[in-house]
Structure 1
């Protein structure tokens, strides 16, 4: 390792730290048109400030933000990183390549006779980059392998329905990245993605499964953690729990828990899962769900984990509620 990389690690890792905190969160940093997120960051929009406060409070060494609007020059991501630094939590290393969301194919993918609409894009989106991914890190990024352009049909054992557009339809509804972080113990690969919800139309269930199990055939020969929005609850909702179980053949589930759970009434009344594991809050059926995950490889040592869902009287509760209906998930790994 060169001296520059060692110096960057020394700056990024607090003296004496023996853990690495990973986090993932759909922080609500998406808007209805291109450039609007950057505009809101620049004007200190309350929701943007709330998201920054939550991340600074969690103090991750690396965080994958799902649902973050992408732009060609990374202006929104750079501005948000500056905001995090102003909040006292600098994360100087970033990655955000173009996602499939809103990336138009020029074809009528959904067969409604009107090409150029959100469902005709490689991944659902009103504009290119809407609700993409963004990774911010205190540690240097050694490299990124971007699988986002992989065709769905090229995944062995895929469940893609028959389609006249199989020669152009990509697997990722958003993106698939293998991001290698430089840590004092060597590289740690974050296998990052955000799967489509297994709902709304039949093909989405197949795509959700294939997006998740893609990683089983693309594991790095190095320590790794699968991270992001799986959109699968192990007991409730429309996801296939077998997909999660397949990932758990090569990973471990730290089962992060929140400090607070809303009353299990109304849309939550008929749920089967442990509410402390939920990461998404819904006021409609099927109720709150566990959708966001960090699944470290089985060889890694987990020391702690949690869902940032504070009680209503906690000083952070207002910021958590204002930022997003999703909750930040974090996992601590032993670096020694």
Structure 2
């Protein structure tokens, strides 16, 4: 299975290349201090676990073909409202020929939803993921081989819960690095519970539950590395805490990748190239990392490996809707340490972990930040019908965005 890269529509391509077309309406004006150092371009980067996964293989393609699926239409409207220039979609079922991406664009994103302005993404990247790919091993310890629990990443079929990067700016195809097949045992001082899996299975188990991608995007004269991932939820396991441990080490992979020298030397991509991201490179870490800084089931300090990394800036996106939801739903939310304004996901409260901050857009400190937000409108505010409460019209996660300025 090969990654899918696509480029389409002359108008959108011209816009992505900056050929004299007007800037996006959402962009904030460049501060005078930034302009003195040269011309800068506004860049909105977003992540969205849109729950575009389906229970059976091929079902998402059917829903995308119709152009009438209400959930996908609502997801598309959220994207149109927020209008990101680079967007990571988590939980988008992967198909080998990329038909799903084309259908999403043509039938939903490029069609104005409820009067919204269509959005065009001439560039896209998607690749195979570990979810649903049979390992041939008894990974869940139930005494049998086969099924979702024995896949390299939990899934009913190959590609379930996949992901895709959409961009208005050119993706540097020949420089993309993927880490789908990186072994967990390759990580020094890992948290792998070998005693649970057994020596044979532990030696073959892949670290990434889906995949980790370094997708370089050319924005003007600047290359921005989109570091995309979706670590496994740190739950649904037993006293061995295998999912907590894996979630922690999946997050740690990027923390090590961003640390040049000995700490990243162990990392080898799927093409056999070793090492991490050079210190001079600019990046944005994107995705649903299934880890809150203080609440939920995460391994202690898991997401702090990124939030406190010396190269990473945490802009702390927030929303009014998250505060309102935590207050109204109460339950586990009442005892949370993380301020509710930073929550990005509306999870069950009794029983359950409550609402958590698990979705992140974390730019490098070398990038200039203009603003950030979580798209979670308060009840009655425009757009609140697109987030809502369970059963959600879109997803139990919210879109998170950060506005940046990069040298054009």
TM-score range, shorter chain: over 0.9
Give TM-score scaled by structure 2 length. Answer: 0.78
Q: Return 277-286 or 260-269, whichever deviates more.
A: 260-269
Q: Do the aligned partners of residues 168 and 62 (structure 1) sit closer, same or farther apart at CA in structure 2, a change above 3 Å counting? A: same
Give TM-score scaled by structure 1 length. Answer: 0.94
For residues 15 and 215 of structure 2, the distance between their equivalents in structure 1, rounded to whole angstroms, comes to 20
- Give yes or no for the alignment of 1:122 onto 2:152: yes
Q: Do the aligned partners of residues 140 and 13 (structure 1) sit closer, same or farther apart at CA in structure 2, a change above 3 Å counting? A: farther
Larger Cα-atom Rg: 2
**Shift of residue 320, structure 1, vs aligned partner:** 2.5
- Give yes or no for the alignment of 1:154 onto 2:186: yes
Q: Could you list the runs of 4 or more consecutive aligned residues of structure 1 that deviate by over 3 angstroms after TM superposition?
A: 4-8, 11-17
For residues 139 and 229 of structure 2, the distance between their equivalents in structure 1, rounded to whole angstroms, comes to 22
**Shift of residue 7, structure 1, vs aligned partner:** 7.6
Give unmatched runs, 5+ long, in structure 1.
none
**Shift of residue 168, structure 1, vs aligned partner:** 2.1
For residues 246 and 106 of structure 1, the distance between their equivalents in structure 2, rounded to whole angstroms, comes to 32
Q: Do the aligned partners of residues 134 and 117 (structure 1) sit closer, same or farther apart at CA in structure 2, a change above 3 Å counting? A: same
Contact residue 234 and residue 240 of structure 1 kept, 8 A: no
User: What is aligned with 1:183?
Assistant: 219
Post-superposition CA distance 1:158-200 (Å, at most 9, x none): 1111132133211000110000001013210011100111112
2:46 to 23, 28, 39: 23
1:49 to 73, 93, 98: 73
Contact residue 151 and residue 169 of structure 1 kept, 8 A: yes
For residues 225 and 326 of structure 2, the distance between their equivalents in structure 1, rounded to whole angstroms, comes to 38
1:252 to 313, 334, 351: 313
**Shift of residue 53, structure 1, vs aligned partner:** 0.3
Post-superposition CA distance 1:71-105 (Å, at most 9, x none): 11111111112221223110121111010011111
For residues 326 and 140 of structure 2, the distance between their equivalents in structure 1, rounded to whole angstroms, comes to 39
For residues 214 and 331 of structure 1, the distance between their equivalents in structure 2, rounded to whole angstroms, comes to 23
Give unmatched runs, 5+ long, in structure 2.
1-9, 28-40, 113-117, 259-276
For residues 80 and 325 of structure 1, the distance between their equivalents in structure 2, rounded to whole angstroms, comes to 20
User: What is aligned with 2:36?
Assistant: none
Contact residue 81 and residue 92 of structure 1 kept, 8 A: no
